Amino acid sequence: MGKKWGLYHVGGRSQPVSCVYCGRMTPKVKAVPVMKGPRINLRNIPGIDRRRVFLPQQKEYACISCAKHRRLI
């Protein structure tokens, strides 16, 4: 009695994701997506067409508190 299990409904479609900043597990519906681009600067590479280069963007997630702290939201 008195145990409050199931505050978050685990299962279903919201899988937990880990925050990139603090590593805390956050439900995906509450996480804030952070797009991380590559760190290379294509302008430094001569003879490259930037429109034809696919830059893979890494999608990371941050928890609410980290996102607020870093002004992402």
Q: Which two tokens stand for residue 64?
A: 């609410």
Which stretch in 7-15, 30-38, 50-58, 62-70 sits in contact with Zn ion by CB under 5 A? 62-70
DSSP code for 65: H
Residue placing its CB nearer to Zn ion in the complex, 17 or 19: 19
DSSP calls for 37-50: --S--GGGSTT--G
Nearest to 67 by CA among 31, 23, 15: 31
Question: How many angstroms separate the Cα of 29 from the Cα of each of 12, 16, 33?
Answer: 12, 9, 10
Please identify, using beta-carbon distances, which residue of 10 and 22 lies nearer to Zn ion.
Answer: 22
Closer of 17 and 66 to Zn ion (Cβ): 66
Query: Taking CB under 5 A as the rule, which mask of x and - marks residues 7-36 in contact with Zn ion?
Result: ------------x-xx--------------
Please give the residue ranges that form the binding site for Zn ion (CB under 5 A): 19, 21-22, 63, 66
